[in-house]
Amino acid sequence: MEPVDLVEMQPDKQEAVDVTSWVCVCPGGLWRVQRNETHEWTQQISSNTADDTSCLTNHCPKLGSLCRVKVQLKAQTDDSDGPPSAKENEKMAVTAVADIVPTPVLRQQDTVLQVPLGDWTTLRLGEGHCDITEACLEGMRAGEKCEIQLTPIGTGPEASLHQPSYGDLPLIATVELQAFTPGKESWEMTPTERWEWVKSHKERGGGRFRSGDLWGATDSYSRALKLLIPLCGLVGEVEDTNCLEETHQLPSSDQLKIKKAELHSNLSLCQLKLNQPQRARDSAAKATRLEPGASKAWYRLGQACQKLNELDEAKEAFKKLLEIQPELPAAVKALKEITSREKERNVQLGLRLSKMFS
């Protein structure tokens, strides 16, 4: 396979300031990212087919782009900040073209930035390996460097934050994009390409959930749904007319509907474990509407309603579950607990009423 053409940049005196802020999903929870500064370099194409790749210099990476990136904490860059030498640029260009395969890096629960600090790493944009880095790359061009400040959001049980293992808060780091390969916006993809992304996100979410990376699993399932929802509509519209050549390579609209229900149900489970009962209830309710026979979704809906003290709704969910799976021990136990709580609630209500009229 021939190497994919990449865009390289040389240092220049031009500099642009850009301040933006957004929220990213990390293994420990949600973090606010503030991008403070961007340095722009002039263009140099390290390819024999410059005409084919020069268009990338005015664009940012898209879904599927392989991005050659280096992330450093501010303390690491103080001594080495500044334009790279010509010799360093030449070495970087050779490495970028040769090393196209994404760098295998395991996600960890005690770090925020899921990339090797200070090293050039190749990430595939859209996989959500490091949401902070990817969010930066989506708005960068080849050769740019930006400085970011990272601050955790929330201190309550929903945050479930882990302290970073490599520095005090807030963290200040730089993200440098050396080069990237072409990618596509989701609307530019064929239905088959979207479906492949949906499957990979769902599989990745399952792996993250099993490893205890609940925030990462939530992110993966959300990414899958974001691509699947418009795909369901597209397949449903053209299924009867067969006007889409790729339809025969995709699941039917009913099968996609079931897959969508599974993703909402999986998302509900993650949200329950992250102590987000309202979101878990909404996700589970969507799953039950899409697939009324989904026993796991009814169970998670009942659990979420219990946590929200919506006892009547919880009772209905568990009763529906027993219609699907009669005598299911978990559902029977849950109904007994709800009956007990209802009795306590009625006793307390009676006491309050008696005080009002005594």
Level-2 CATH architecture, domain 187-350: Alpha Horseshoe (1.25)
d(CA 49, CA 45): 8
For residue 160, what are its two tokens? 């479930």
Q: Among candidates 58, 63, 55, which has minimal Cα distance to 185?
A: 63
Length of the chain: 358
Mean pLDDT score of the chain: 80
How does DSSP classify residue 28?
T
One DSSP character per residue, 90-126 reads: HHHHHHHHH--SPP-----TT-SS-S-TTSEEEEETT
Q: Give 358's pLDDT tier (boundaries 50, 70, 90).
A: low
Higher pLDDT, 96 or 22: 22
d(CA 70, CA 51): 27
d(CA 103, CA 148): 22
Q: Report which residue type is found at 82.
A: G
137 in Cβ contact with 125 (< 8 Å): yes
d(CA 112, CA 163): 9
Residue 43: what pLDDT? 45
For residue 206, what are its two tokens? 């399952």
Residue 291: what pLDDT? 97
pLDDT digits (tens, 9 = 90+) for 217-260: 999 999 999 999 999 888 876 655 555 555 567 899 999 999 99
Decide: helix, strand or coil at residue 71. strand
Residue 334: what pLDDT? 95
pLDDT digits (tens, 9 = 90+) for 120-152: 999 999 999 999 999 999 989 999 999 999 988
Q: Report which residue type is found at 310.
A: E
Alpha carbon distances (Å) from 252 to 143, 193, 203? 44, 16, 20
Q: Give 44's pLDDT tier (boundaries 50, 70, 90).
A: very low
Answer yes or no: is pLDDT of 68 > 70.
yes
Higher pLDDT, 242 or 343: 343
Higher pLDDT, 342 or 95: 342
For residue 228, what are its two tokens? 């699947």
Residue 248: what pLDDT? 62
Alpha carbon distances (Å) from 146 to 119, 137, 285, 324? 16, 10, 41, 54
List where CATH 1.25.40.10 sits in the chain: 187-350
Decide: helix, strand or coil at residue 211. coil
Answer yes or no: is pLDDT of 74 > 50.
yes
Cis peptide before 11 (omega within 30 of 0): no
Answer yes or no: is pLDDT of 188 > 70.
yes
Residue 241: what pLDDT? 57
d(CA 146, CA 220): 26
